[in-house]
Amino acid sequence: MPDLALRGEVGHRGVRPGRETGPVTSAGSGHAAGRDQESSTAHAVPREAADGPPPWVAVCGTPVAVVQGAWGGRRGLGSGDVCPRCRELAPA
């Protein structure tokens, strides 16, 4: 995990908003879970974009500040607040 140490600040609560997290690697759909800075709404970010540097944009067009985890996991579709447009455009 040296890449994460160089590119972002990872702690027990995850990554600080607005920081890079490094490549998002997990099995599942072609999307990662992202969140915008103004709300806790989960958005789907295409995997290719999520693996690159910010800025990140969700499939619904919303800019996201943090990309962390799989869209099909607890930070994406398993979240209590999921973007309805992302849910429609990027089903698990």
pLDDT tens per residue across span 51-92: 999 999 999 999 999 999 999 999 999 999 999 999 999 987
**pLDDT on residue 78:** 96
Average pLDDT, the chain: 78
3-state secondary structure the chain: CHHHHHHCCEECCEECCCCCCCCCCCCCCCEEEEECCCCCCEEEEEHHHHCCCCCEECCCCCEECEEEEECCCCCCCCCCCECHHHHHHCCC
Residue 21 reports pLDDT greater than 60: no
Per-residue pLDDT band for 7 (boundaries 50, 70, 90) equals very low
Residue bearing the bigger pLDDT, 9 or 25: 25
**pLDDT on residue 29:** 61
